[in-house]
Amino acid sequence: MQYKSYKLTPVCLECGDRIKYGRSDKKFCSSTCRNKFYYMHFSRSQRFRRKVMSVLSKNYQILETYLLAGVDSVELVEAVNLGFVPSTVTSHQRIRGKDECCCFDIKYIMTETRISSLTKIQFVSLNLRSKTLKPSDDEQ
């Protein structure tokens, strides 16, 4: 007895149509279906976080590329042309008139025209709990 060999054709998670082209692990037939699926299955807050994380991830990738190339200062417009979104940061501080921003562990100074002082920061572990429970003498 012979069996036909069936090649499994993936189907779109949104509309159920067969996905005729693209990678075999593709989940949607089109970007319209993908967007519709995420819109329907995720709350507004989840969608917002997803979008922000995606922007941060892209920003990080761009900044890290500069760091790996040994570049610590770049025209803002150059980064923006690569997809960098200046308004999305993980932290921001105004220090001595300068805007110091972070994208996770990458710190930089941002002006209206430049990104400078690009550097990776070392995280210092804060033990806030023990500080709260046992304030040291100099904090009182």
Query: Can you give the binding site for Zn ion, defined by CB under 5 A?
Result: 12, 14-15, 29, 33
End-to-end CA distance of the chain: 86
Nearer residue to Zn ion within complex by CB, 29 or 79: 29
| Shortest distance in whole angstroms from residue 31 CB to Zn ion | 10
Q: In angstroms, what is the minimal distance from the CB of 7 to Zn ion?
A: 19
Q: How many CB atoms lie within 10 A of CB 127?
A: 8
**Of 16 and 70, which CB lies nearer to Zn ion in the complex structure?**
16
Buried b (16+ CB within 10 A) or exposed e, 33-62: bbeebeeeeeeeeeeeeeeeeebbebbbeb
Smallest distance, Zn ion to C-beta of residue 15, A: 3
Instruction: Determine which helix (DSSP H) or strand (DSSP E) holds 54, and give its type and residue range.
Output: helix 44-68
**Given the complex with Zn ion, which of 29 and 101 has the nearer CB atom?**
29
